[in-house]
Amino acid sequence: MIVTLDVFSGRPNPSWTLSEKEARQLTDRVASRALPAAAGVEGILGFRGFVVHGPGDDTAKKAALPDSFRVGGLLSGEFVAPEGVAASALRVEEADDAAKWLLTTARGEVEDEVLRYVEGALKEPAQQREGPAGKKGGKGAEPAEDAQDEKALAEAKKAGVVLAACVIANTAYNPGFWNVPAVQPHNNCYNYSMNYRSDTFAQPGRISGHPNNVMQCANVATAANWDGCKALCSGSNKNVALVIWPGVDYHWYRKHSNGFWGHKPGSTAARNTDNSGKVIGGVLTPANCNRGPYTIFCGYRFSPTGMKVK
Amino acid sequence: MSYRCTAVLVTAVSLLDGCAPYREVESPMRVELDVFSGRPNPSWELSAEEAGELARRLEDLRPVDRAPAEPGLGYRGFVVSMPGREIRVYQGVLTITEDGSTRRYADVNRIEGWLAGQARRHGHGGLVAAIAGEGGPSG
């Protein structure tokens, strides 16, 4: 069986052949089940799943599998099953497990940097995932997305800190995940920006045991750092931005793979517009959009993929 | 057409038949100053006397068609919550949500300013002063 990691936009996707043992292991996981069709969802940058093909047109049928199918990533909604089999669909958790296992078969076949990125994308829990991993960084990243804070970078170098490659994995804008009665009132800007539904109106530093009550840039940023947020990009991250209403409150924004920024003011609806109703994209950024009383722009930061808040 | 307080506060305030002020409160009404994004909003409970005053101010309201501007960061109004109902007061408009339906009335009895005064008394004077500069009521 041939596996293709569907991840690149410009370059051809990497493919490799499973050994007989690996093919049996995959078959054990997914045989006789309805599986997502190999045709992916268009218009998504970044990790889109693994596509599995039989090497010949009879191989898959022998194994009670469709001729081709997709594992992990964003699903098109179309499922396929082997002929003559009344199949139940693979659950999200099962698909995630199969995708993680398929990633182990990619070692030596796919560049380490890409493996780390996909590993990060797959770490995001399915129940908290609001959309597909969207933007592949590295050499192809937009300069603004993986731009590092030069001062922090210099300090890290001085301290001898070795940073892993920066991979930007912003997700697609998906307000429908947040703007429902069971979610919206219980999650704030920090939940939204870190992309983690805790239903606790999360506070920087709370999950790590370092709560903060001082509403100044350095204090809020440090509390968020304890939770995993950081000034320097290392590994798989999403872009976030912190602003302050001096001495009163804080607010966070998150960049989406669509190219604009989203945010969620308190218990109100998630949105991608500023206080003037303009989409925060293009020349409009968290630094220069209408933020009402949140007059201090603290800066851009990085939130690791899979970061949790409480 | 007028809006009677009995329809608004029937489960929250007892002895509502006359809509007279200073009634007994059966279940607490909570007021939230909706203003923060990250921190939890400041909130407080209305005393029985305050609930009665609110009931009086909810008499004879005039329906309006206009919705207030979509609030964003900063002041977004006061929200009075009671079982089954929510009243948001923002930019001179009361938005009453009950059983999934929404009605709007003009704040002819200056409830928004009255609630701002309450916020001051509950120790949020600095915040009220700040939102006054952002288009909120000064109390």
Strand partners, B53: none
Query: Using a CB-CB distance cutoff of 8 angstroms, which residues of chain B are in contact with residue A271?
Result: 72
Inter-chain residue contact A274 with B72, CB threshold 8 Å: yes
CA of A116: how far to CAs of A69, A76, A169, B127, in Å? 23, 25, 11, 46
Inter-chain residue contact B39 with A268, CB threshold 8 Å: no
Query: Using a CB-CB distance cutoff of 8 angstroms, which residues of chain A are in contact with residue B39?
Result: 203, 215, 249-250
Q: How far is B104 from A72, CA to CA, in rounded Å?
A: 47
Chain A: closest CA distance from residue B74 (Å): 6
User: Any alpha helices (H) in chain B, and if so which ranges?
Assistant: 5-9, 48-57, 111-119, 125-132
* pLDDT band at residue B10 under the 50/70/90 scheme: very low
CB-based contact A115:A104 (threshold 8 Å) = no
Inter-chain residue contact A265 with B40, CB threshold 8 Å: no
Q: Which helix (H) or strand (E) holds A25?
A: helix A20-30
Average pLDDT over residues A81-87: 53
Order of strands across the sheet with A68-71?
A15-17, A2-5, A50-53, A68-71
DSSP string, A29-58: HHTTEEEE-SS--TT--S---EEEE-SSTT
Chain B: closest CA distance from residue A306 (Å): 20
Could you tell me where the beta strands, DSSP code E, fall in chain A?
2-5, 15-17, 33-36, 50-53, 68-71, 79-80, 88-89, 166-168, 235-245, 249-255, 261-263, 296-304
ipTM: 0.79
CB-based contact A52:A3 (threshold 8 Å) = yes
Inter-chain residue contact A251 with B37, CB threshold 8 Å: yes
Could you tell me where the beta strands, DSSP code E, fall in chain B?
30-33, 43-45, 62-63, 78-82, 85-90, 93-98, 101-106
Inter-chain residue contact A292 with B38, CB threshold 8 Å: no
Look at residue A13 and give its three-state secondary structure: coil
Chain B: closest CA distance from residue A44 (Å): 29
Q: Which of A3-7, A69-73, B46-50, B77-81 has the lowest mean pLDDT?
A: A69-73
- Select from A189, A249, A289 the residue whose CB has the most chain B CBs within 10 Å, as the one to mutate to test that interface: A249
CB-based contact A53:A102 (threshold 8 Å) = no
pLDDT on residue A155:
73
Q: How far is B76 from B122, CA to CA, in rounded Å?
A: 18
Considering the entire predicted model, what is its pTM?
Answer: 0.63
Signed CA dihedral, B119, B124, B128, B134: sign only = negative
| pLDDT at position B18 over 70 | no
Chain A: closest CA distance from residue B130 (Å): 9
Write out residues 233-262 of A within 8 Å (CB-CB) of B: 245, 248-252
Q: Give CA A15 to chain center in angstroms.
A: 23
- Which of B75, B73, B58 shows the shortest CA–CA distance to B7? B58
* pLDDT band at residue B17 under the 50/70/90 scheme: very low
Work out how many CB contacts closer than 8 A connect A with B.
Answer: 65
Inter-chain residue contact A294 with B74, CB threshold 8 Å: yes
Residues of chain A with pLDDT > 90: what percent?
46
